[in-house]
Structure 1
């Protein structure tokens, strides 16, 4: 077998992007909103069709070793269905705003060729989300999947091409970097596309921001949730258990730490136990740390695994109840020397005890500043003002209130967040966006600016408040 040279790698990527540009120009020329809508719907049906959804879910678990089939089926379906709901009335072609008062008419325009780096944790749902958004905006897209995500990505594209054939769309609108992937191939793609979208490792995000192409990267998750003394403890425990165990905690939005007020701590532990949460006391936490991070590296035998495999890998067989679904490990440490305070990507939850709400807020702030700043926090409470307090003081882009966090953060049918698998974390997380990645990020616009009646204010109109303030 001939070893491919770096020059060969670059030629391959150059060719892929060149074909994408040609297809995109044809897609945009003479386009209508209907053309873009049909293309997005074709890609959506490629993953929503039940048999193909199951095939993708089974292949994803088999090839990545992460998550579980039933939850991936649900994720593929709900995230795509929700995205299509969001896109149903979205205008991404032609005049999208006409404001006589300002004299501005805004015309939606495609960005061109999107380059998307996608993770192995969601090897079908995340690419599908990016593809649908790209097509809705009139773009072509080139995907760079993780090595373990290649089979699922290849299969997804085959399903999309089958739908494209039905409506006369060019397969070159949706392509991927062929296996074997490499950093050189991905880097070249980053450099020559028109917009880069990166979900996954922070190393990839940093590379994207340095590549010279406009980039949207998302931050690291390490979700911390506060349970206060006014929370409905039974409902809270149920939601946290539901979220923590969904797809074996592959989501960056799954709860990583829970901070519980002292007043309800014991009752909450009982409620967690009723939902399959096995408590590991602080005295036993070091054993968990040693097995979860042998040699300082997160144990692959635990990452996103079923409960029984997690329990076995952590040496807890016969030491926790047989119906254990996840582990809640008591700890107080925060920072680099306390790995439980960071993201665990497993059915392991760090459990902190707080004196009061102010203490809980400070613990949460310290955890976020260690890891996960800008992503999101959760609050289970009946006191409305506390969510506002967290939003005004913590380095976070989202405060998720009384919801199963990993299901709510990326958009749910019972909240108003955009359906997405990629969450921007603002300047706190080193990102250019603080919103859920959505269709608006896949278009740009041209403004037609007309002359209007002059609106020039007098100095006193704009400075009266200041003058009054300084003169008393």
Structure 2
């Protein structure tokens, strides 16, 4: 098949899928909450039942991460997300405020375009299908070409289960001939109401510039500050747990460690004791050449790979039991690979004179890359924790928890999600962990409570300082009487 033919076939497939998805969504929009919930439960159960098979497929196809951890991700996407959303009211009247005479009504957005990355392919597909259907939307997936087979299989198993539970035939679908042209057609299609984009910066920017409303997630580059009051042993354990989970492919995982000079020795000793390998300057220089490609983007050769594979790639020798590779770093910027996002078990290590300098360094790292996403602090000092929370340009400040699992809501009480909004500072439409409520609009039916004459009276009262409305006088009298009663009692 010629490349041109593939592009044309991909575009035509998208048009057909969107047309069918639109018709399916019309049926979904007329379903009640019980019917929607039954479909979502079926997706959850199918994802969970097939969690191991899909994890192994994702690992074999992409070569990223560890299939054992991908099983955990699939469990999280199917079970943890489901438990969080199962009782949400997403159909019909959401709220009736009788006092203020306002009705809030859920309105599905329509057809959702779900862009799926290669780093978390099966889990993201399960999660996005559930939150889209829970909100009464149909979804058309655009799979990353390097994870096409496992994503198509995921869509197949959850779709079969959802159909048995009463889902309209084409409410879940997936492009089988993925291409840039096909994805562009999907994002710009007039009948697509919202893009749910998870992936690289270029793809997220394309989603926001498509002309279709989008919720996109940019890169993470979260620094982890170990403040001197922290339980250092536990902080190191959490960081290594996070950075080694699926070999660092979750974007909320730590990308650098920042410490104060007075605790440097203790932290380094503990990191080494728990399996971290501090590279020499020569070794770090060798590896730095493999972190970024010539165009400044992350090298896929290191993504989700073990420390041993990465070391072999760079031609350096490391102990057999190494869990994480660490490089001392003093600089931050586009040309300094260790200061950038590294979806692999590689960390930068910064040493600062005190917590205020560490605070400044974290801000510098985030504005270089990852603004709006996530950062982590390990500390027992509430004052410093609050200072960090007030000043950091991120949507999630994670305290005393692993970054990757805390950011997605696994080890914290954040909304369980695999799409993490980065707020305006990160170029995102929201700072939320994305759930069904982000995929509905709210129609408000409101009763009139004032007449034109009431508005005029208020206006006249404001213009004439010598005139006080009767309602205002009665309010003052009521407050005075209440105060007197309190004194008597």
TM-score normalised by L of structure 1: 0.92
Structure 2 portions without partners, runs of 5+: 469-489
| Contact 2:377-2:397 within 8 A present in 1 as well | yes
Structure 1 portions without partners, runs of 5+: 462-472
- Residue 436 of structure 1 is aligned with which of 433, 437, 460? 433
| Contact 1:82-1:411 within 8 A present in 2 as well | no
Distance 2:372 2:94 in 1: 31
Could you say which residue in structure 2 is the equivalent of 1:138?
A: 136
- Residue 51 of structure 2 is aligned with which of 53, 75, 80? 53
Q: CA deviation at 1:285?
A: 2.6
| Contact 1:240-1:405 within 8 A present in 2 as well | yes
Could you say which residue in structure 2 is the equivalent of 1:12?
A: 13
* C-alpha spacing 1:191/1:157, structure 2 compared with 1 (3 Å): same
Secondary structure of the residue aligned to 2:141 is strand
- How do residues 63-462 of structure 1 correspond to structure 2 at under 5 angstroms? 63-179=61-177, 181-192=178-189, 193-282=192-281, 284-293=283-292, 295=294, 298-317=298-317, 320-412=318-410, 414-452=411-449, 459=462
- In terms of Rg, which structure is larger? 2
Deviations 1:244-302 (A, max 9, x none): 00001111111101101111111011111121111124464322213434756644432
Deviations 1:364-402 (A, max 9, x none): 111111101110111000001222211211211111000
Distance 2:297 2:450 in 1: 65
| Contact 2:47-2:157 within 8 A present in 1 as well | yes
Secondary structure of the residue aligned to 2:338 is helix
Q: CA deviation at 1:12?
A: 2.2
Distance 1:5 1:187 in 2: 14
Deviations 1:385-431 (A, max 9, x none): 2222112112111110000110000112x422011111111111111
Q: CA deviation at 1:334?
A: 0.6
Could you say which residue in structure 2 is the equivalent of 1:21?
A: 22
Deviations 1:212-244 (A, max 9, x none): 111111121111111111010000010000000
Secondary structure of the residue aligned to 2:372 is coil
Secondary structure of the residue aligned to 2:255 is strand
Q: CA deviation at 1:331?
A: 0.9
Q: CA deviation at 1:308?
A: 2.2
Secondary structure of the residue aligned to 2:394 is coil
Distance 1:258 1:80 in 2: 32
Distance 1:282 1:381 in 2: 30
Aligned residues: 454
Secondary structure of the residue aligned to 1:303 is coil
| Contact 1:109-1:445 within 8 A present in 2 as well | yes
| Contact 1:292-1:314 within 8 A present in 2 as well | no
TM-score normalised by L of structure 2: 0.89
Secondary structure of the residue aligned to 1:397 is strand
Secondary structure of the residue aligned to 1:324 is coil
Deviations 1:18-63 (A, max 9, x none): 100111111222x1111111111111112111xx111100110111
Distance 1:9 1:144 in 2: 11
Distance 2:412 2:293 in 1: 40
Could you say which residue in structure 1 is the equivalent of 2:483?
A: none
| Contact 2:395-2:423 within 8 A present in 1 as well | yes
| Contact 1:46-1:156 within 8 A present in 2 as well | no
Distance 1:40 1:407 in 2: 24
* C-alpha spacing 1:401/1:107, structure 2 compared with 1 (3 Å): same
Secondary structure of the residue aligned to 1:124 is helix
| Contact 2:373-2:421 within 8 A present in 1 as well | yes
Q: Which runs of at least 4 in structure 1 moved beyond 6 Å after TM superposition? A: 454-458
Q: CA deviation at 1:315?
A: 2.4
Secondary structure of the residue aligned to 1:367 is helix
| Contact 2:40-2:162 within 8 A present in 1 as well | no
Distance 1:394 1:451 in 2: 43
Q: CA deviation at 1:196?
A: 0.8
Could you say which residue in structure 2 is the equivalent of 1:467?
A: none
Q: CA deviation at 1:14?
A: 1.5
* C-alpha spacing 1:209/1:284, structure 2 compared with 1 (3 Å): same
Could you say which residue in structure 2 is the equivalent of 1:465?
A: none
* C-alpha spacing 1:396/1:161, structure 2 compared with 1 (3 Å): closer
